[in-house]
């Protein structure tokens, strides 16, 4: 059986995408010429390749979902999807993958679609080079750009997502790779990750999202070389870790976030070779976080480096980090400060009880108290200290070049 | 007034005080730049030096200068001059020469530094202006105290006490009040308290630039409005201006009524 | 020219002037005398607007001086203590006064008279007490004003400078100026003054010429006359 090619355009013999899909056999190719097609509820139950020329616009008729994919091995590329309206009853998406495996969604545009790409019960699906832009104002009325649920072995790569509720959403998805994506100005999380194990995300940029990135209830996650930038706000995090176990956070940049990393019940996490620059709090590690290793990181000009709700005991290891506010010395010139560094300040503990006192930040009086606390710890855990603080900044860029 | 200002300024520009002020800040700034090798760290290090020592030096110098120039003031009082011109002129001459000492002392090392490294001039210029404001405010306060107090020792003591109160004790009290009343909404109280102290105001102005990511972590609505926009910056700056003008107004008023 | 009208002044509880009235006009040298604390300097300072009366009024050229300052253009004033901004040079100080007062002063002549030429470039802080007083006199006298007020002019002067100063004062008197002097050097009073204004217990106790006061006290010596006045007022605690 030979594969056919069907051409769709407004003056062609086939004027509608849905007609082309209906008349195609398994393995056929559909080429859509540039133009505007107002269509929706197109179901695909067989392997097909759909190619758009010069980004033909598919406008959702009645604001309904556009493609509904239940078959395997479907490729969609070069289309622009528009105006999928919000619904409170169903999860409407421009491309809705329900159980189809090995789907490729490559180089498409999504403009003001409610959900952009919705993936459910799919294995081996690739979402690459797509741009999804919405201009939502309210979290309640908006949905996620790329939403994946109960899937495996996904590859989400090189996508740009902006103005949705969550930029990237993963729930019960395992063994997937998320890389080189840029998630910008989404109303809630740039990346929202739950109950998803053994995943890697690498080289992504999460920037100015309402609440930053949340990774929760998962284990064996690898997060390498991502950038968490300018996630500002009352409950905004560069990276929120909650109930996370056995994961690696390496070579990331946390810059200008209200809280760089916030950890709650984060267990056996390896936080190594990251740069924390000009965050409000570089790390906030709650007492339930244990057996974590924090080493070879640069902490540079953060208002607070580490804070915790614990004031007695610390169960994590802080060693060989560079702290830009380290005031000790290195007489034997081995690159390691001769005096331990205590990254938790008295004042950051005070703020735990009296948040309004933030107005006294950098006051001479407060600096005096910090100094005294440093000598005689009362409010800060006595054993939370870096015994081998580095005196020189680590060049993490060079170190991570080949990773 | 300009004549008095001019001569006062010339006189003090050449005095060892201005030189000391200049050299002090020159050495501190250069020293920090040398040790840290980093302009941003230097600015953070300078923050407390400026916010605490500019007021102290301006206070000491203002008091000493006022009592030292009392006879000269009398000479001027016998001249065909308005009283306002005499006192405001002397005040401005003094505070301008100090300000220039401070300004150049901090600026010169940064300018030299900028030949080889990049310098963030926004935070630096806030630091420079805050120091100048504090010099103006605290020389005015000490001038005012000296004007009211004829006894040199008493005047000096009062000036130092004022400095100690505003620089250290005040923040301690504020922290104490905030932690005692932590069941109540405290944002307004703490903002009002901040506005009543020029040292706190200067600190907040710098804090708004240096620590904005931390400040936005606070959950209250009033603070959020204050920290979250240029509103807080503008408000603090205007309050600092008021702080500069009010003591000068009182210098004028009290000098009008005083016998010499 | 100058009228003090019923002047009262108290510093705290201390009543210094209790109804002083006096007029100075028509030229000549008037010495204001009185025991320490009798209000001589206060009276002078009031004329110059440095101290305000609690009650009463001072007229200059028939006009009240309250809240005025232009009239000081007509007064040369030599203050008691000569202290100036330490880092200004003598020339700069002269320029300061010239800047303030404008007009055409004759500082050249006074510089020669008191041999100040070599000091002009020096800073005030490097001058001796006597030289400072000479600068003080120079600054006060370099303008040609109808009224001259001298508060203890002889302080720290060497004999030659004192002679020059006396000559200078007499010369100004001869131009018909009104000159007020306070001093505790009686020889200076005898040499210079046309009239004595004697303050005691807050009032003008005596006013007249030197022969008048001698006659009034029944003594042939000015110093004794004044001592006599004080004793008979039972003011034994106060010295002249």
Number of independent structural domains in chain A: 1
Question: Is residue C85 within 8 angstroms of chain B, CB to CB?
Answer: yes
Helix (H) or strand (E) holding C101: helix C90-101
Q: What is the rounded average pLDDT of the residues A128-152?
A: 92
Q: Pairing mode, if any, of strands A146-149 and A93-98?
A: unpaired
B211–A259: do the CB atoms touch at under 8 Å? no
Residue A109 belongs to domain spanning: 1-209
Q: Count the domains in chain B.
A: 1
CB distance from C118 to chain B under 8 Å?
no
Note whether A11 and A31 are within 8 A (CB): no
Helix B83-116 to helix B230-257 angle (10° resolution) is 150
The pLDDT value given to residue B217: 76
Of residues A291 and B12, which shows the higher confidence score? A291
Overall size of chain B counted in residues: 260
Q: Residues in chain B with pLDDT < 50?
A: none
A368 chain-B contacts, CB cut-off 8 A: 168
DSSP assignment of B177-216, as one string? HHHHTTTS--HHHHHHHHHT-HHHHHHHHHHHHHSHHHHT
Helix (H) or strand (E) holding B223: helix B221-228
Among residues C96, C92, C101, C17, which one has the least CA distance to residue C54?
C17
Buried b (16+ CB within 10 A) or exposed e, B211-223: bbbbbbbbebeeb
For residue A8, list its beta bridge partners.
A14, A32
Residues of B in contact with C101 (CB under 8 A): 79-80
User: What is the predicted pLDDT for the residue at B7?
Assistant: 73
Count how many domains chain C has: 1
Sign of CA dihedral A124, A125, A129, A131: negative
Distance (Å, whole) CA A94 – CA A50: 14
- In this structure, the number of other CB atoms found within 10 A of the CB of residue A26 comes to 12
Please judge whether C88 and B11 are an interchain contact, meaning their C-beta atoms are less than 8 angstroms apart. yes
pLDDT higher than threshold 90 for residue A238: yes
Which token pair is A399?
């170190």
- According to the model, what pLDDT value does residue A309 have? 85
B contacts of C87 (beta carbons < 8 Å): 10-12, 14-15
- Answer whether C91's CB lies under 8 Å from C111's CB: no
Predicted pLDDT of residue A1: 53
pLDDT digits (tens, 9 = 90+) for A147-188: 999 999 999 999 999 999 999 999 999 999 999 999 999 999
Instruction: Measure C208 CA to nearest chain B CA, in Å.
Output: 28
> What's the confidence (pLDDT) of residue B137?
95
Beta strands in chain C (DSSP E): 2-11, 14-24, 28-33, 55-60, 63-64, 75-78, 147-151, 178-182, 195-200, 203-208
First to last CA, chain B: 19
Binary contact (C50, B259; C-beta < 8 A): yes
Query: C238 lies in a domain?
Result: no
Give the residue numbers spanning the domain of C25: 2-89+146-232
Directed axis angle between helix B198-210 and helix B187-195, to 10°? Answer: 120
Asked if A232 and B213 come within 8 Å (Cβ–Cβ), the reply is yes
A105: domain CATH number? 2.160.20.10
Report residue B213 as tokens.
């990511």
Do at least 3 CB pairs under 8 Å connect C with A? no
Question: Is residue C113 one of the residues assigned to a domain?
Answer: no
The CATH number covering residue C216 comes to 3.40.50.300
- Widest pairwise Cα distance in chain C: 53
- Euclidean distance between CA atoms A216 and A193, whole angstroms: 6
Contacts of B19 in chain C (CB under 8 A): none
| Torsion region of C10: left, alpha or beta (phi above 0 gives left; psi -120 to 50 gives alpha) | beta
pLDDT in the model for residue B41 = 81
> Is residue A159, in this structure, part of any structural domain at all?
yes
> Would you call C224 an interface residue with chain B, using a CB distance cutoff of 8 Å?
no
pLDDT tens digits, residue range A346-383?
A: 888 888 888 888 888 889 899 888 888 888 888 888 88
pLDDT > 70? residue A26: yes
Tokens of B107: 């600026």
Which chain C residues contact residue B71 at CB under 8 A?
79, 81-84
What's the first-to-final CA gap in chain C, in angstroms? Answer: 28
Cβ A98 vs Cβ A127: under 8 Å: no
DSSP A268: E
Measured between alpha carbons, how far is B102 from B18 in angstroms, rounded to an integer? Answer: 8
How far does the CA of residue B156 sit from the closest CA of chain A (Å)? 23
Q: What is the total residue count of chain A?
A: 403
Rounded to whole angstroms, how far apart are CA atoms A343 and A206?
A: 26
Domain of B31? 2-257
Whole-angstrom Cα distance, residue A1 to residue A56?
Answer: 29
Closest by CA to A266, choosing from A312, A303, A308, is A308
Distance between B52 CA and the closest CA of chain C, angstroms? 28
Sheet holding C55-60, edge to edge: C14-24, C2-11, C55-60, C63-64
Q: What are the pLDDT digits (tens) for C133-156?
A: 899 899 888 988 899 999 888 888
Which residues of chain C register pLDDT less than 70?
A: 232-240
Angular region, A165: left φ>0, alpha ψ -120 to 50, beta rest: alpha
From A284, A263, A149, select the one nearest A215 (Cα to Cα): A263
Is residue A222 predicted with pLDDT exceeding 90?
yes
Whether C128 is covered by a domain: the verdict is: no
What whole-number distance in Å separates Cα of residue B207 and Cα of residue B232? 11
């Amino acid at each position: 059986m030979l594969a056919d090619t069907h051409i769709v355009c407004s003056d062609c013999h086939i004027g509608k995408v849905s007609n082309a899909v209906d008349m195609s056999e398994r393995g056929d190719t559909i080429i859509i010429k540039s133009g505007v097609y107002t269509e929706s509820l197109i179901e695909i139950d067989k392997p097909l390749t759909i190619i758009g020329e010069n980004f033909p616009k598919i406008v959702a008729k009645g604001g309904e979902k556009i493609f509904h994919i239940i078959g395997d091995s479907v490729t969609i590329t070069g289309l622009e999807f528009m105006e999928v309206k919000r619904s409170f009853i169903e999860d409407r998406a421009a491309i809705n993958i329900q159980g189809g495996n090995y789907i490729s969604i490559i180089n498409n545009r999504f403009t003001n679609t409610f959900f952009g790409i919705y993936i459910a019960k799919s294995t081996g699906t690739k979402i690459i080079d797509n741009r999804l832009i919405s201009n939502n104002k309210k979290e309640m009325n908006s949905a996620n750009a790329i939403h994946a649920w109960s899937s495996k072995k996904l590859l989400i790569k090189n996508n740009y997502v902006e103005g949705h509720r969550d930029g990237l959403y993963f729930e019960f998805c395992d063994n997937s790779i998320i890389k080189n994506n840029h998630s910008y100005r989404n109303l809630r999380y740039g990346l929202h990750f739950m109950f998803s194990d053994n995943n890697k995300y690498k080289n992504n940029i999460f920037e100015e999202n309402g609440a930053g990135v949340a990774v929760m209830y998962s284990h064996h996650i690898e997060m390498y070389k991502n950038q968490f930038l300018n996630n500002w706000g009352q409950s905004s995090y560069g990276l929120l870790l909650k109930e996370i176990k056995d994961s690696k956070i390496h070579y990331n940049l946390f810059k200008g976030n209200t809280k760089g990393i916030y950890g709650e019940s984060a267990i056996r996490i390896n936080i190594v070779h990251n740069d924390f620059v000009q965050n409000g709090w570089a790390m906030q590690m709650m007492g339930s976080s244990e057996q974590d290793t924090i080493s070879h990181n640069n902490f540079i000009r953060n208002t607070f480096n580490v804070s915790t709700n614990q004031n007695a005991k610390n169960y994590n290891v802080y060693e060989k980090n560079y702290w830009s506010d380290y005031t000790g010395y290195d007489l034997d010139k081995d690159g390691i400060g001769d005096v331990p560094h205590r990254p938790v300040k008295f004042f950051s503990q005070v703020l735990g009880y009296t948040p309004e006192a933030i107005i006294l930040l950098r006051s001479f009086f407060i600096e005096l108290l910090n100094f005294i606390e440093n000598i005689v710890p009362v409010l800060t855990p006595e054993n939370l200290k870096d015994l081998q603080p580095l005196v020189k900044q680590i060049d993490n860029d060079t170190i991570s070049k080949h990773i | 007034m300009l004549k008095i200002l001019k001569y006062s300024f010339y006189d003090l520009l050449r005095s060892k005080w201005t030189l000391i002020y200049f050299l002090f800040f020159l050495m501190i700034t250069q020293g920090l730049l040398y040790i840290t090798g980093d302009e941003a760290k230097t600015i953070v290090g300078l923050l407390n030096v400026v916010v605490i020592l500019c007021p102290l030096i301006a206070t000491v110098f203002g008091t000493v200068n006022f009592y030292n120039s009392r006879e000269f003031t009398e000479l001027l009082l016998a001249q065909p001059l308005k009283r306002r011109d005499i006192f405001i002129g002397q005040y401005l001459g003094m505070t301008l020469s100090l300000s220039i000492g401070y300004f150049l002392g901090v600026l010169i090392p940064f300018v030299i530094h900028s030949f080889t490294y990049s310098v963030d001039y926004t935070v630096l210029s806030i630091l420079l202006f805050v120091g100048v404001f504090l010099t103006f405010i605290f020389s005015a306060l000490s001038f005012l105290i000296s004007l009211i107090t004829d006894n040199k020792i008493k005047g000096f003591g009062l000036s130092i006490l004022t400095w100690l109160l505003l620089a250290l004790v005040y923040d301690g009290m504020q922290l104490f009040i905030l932690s005692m009343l932590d069941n109540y909404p405290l944002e307004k109280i703490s903002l009002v308290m901040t506005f009543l102290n020029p040292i706190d105001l200067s600190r907040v102005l710098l804090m708004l630039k240096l620590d904005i990511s931390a400040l936005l972590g606070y959950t209250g609505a009033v603070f959020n409005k204050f920290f979250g926009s240029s509103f807080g910056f503008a408000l603090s700056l205007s309050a600092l201006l008021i702080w500069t003008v009010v003591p000068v107004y009182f210098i004028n008023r009290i000098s009008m009524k005083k016998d010499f | 020219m100058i009228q003090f009208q019923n002047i009262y002044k108290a510093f705290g509880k201390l009543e210094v002037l209790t109804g002083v009235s006096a007029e100075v006009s028509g030229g000549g040298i008037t010495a204001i005398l009185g025991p320490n604390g009798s209000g001589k300097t206060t009276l002078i300072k009031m004329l110059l607007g440095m101290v305000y009366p609690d009650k009463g009024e001072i007229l200059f050229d028939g006009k009240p001086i309250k809240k005025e300052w232009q009239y000081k253009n007509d007064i040369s004033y030599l203050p008691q203590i000569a202290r100036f901004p330490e880092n200004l040079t003598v020339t700069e100080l002269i320029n300061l006064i010239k800047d303030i007062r404008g007009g055409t002063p004759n500082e050249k002549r006074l510089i020669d008279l008191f041999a100040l030429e070599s000091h002009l470039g020096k800073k005030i802080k490097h001058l001796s007490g006597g030289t400072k007083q000479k600068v003080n006199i120079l600054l006060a006298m370099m303008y040609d004003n109808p009224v001259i007020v001298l508060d203890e002019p002889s302080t720290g002067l060497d004999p030659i400078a004192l002679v020059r100063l006396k000559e200078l004062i007499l010369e100004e008197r001869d131009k018909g100026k009104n000159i007020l002097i306070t001093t505790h050097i009686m020889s200076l009073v005898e040499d210079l003054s046309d009239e004595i204004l004697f303050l005691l217990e807050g009032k003008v106790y005596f006013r007249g010429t030197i022969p008048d006061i001698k006659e009034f006290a029944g003594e042939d010596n000015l110093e004794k006359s004044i001592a006599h006045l004080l004793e008979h007022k039972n003011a034994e605690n106060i010295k002249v």
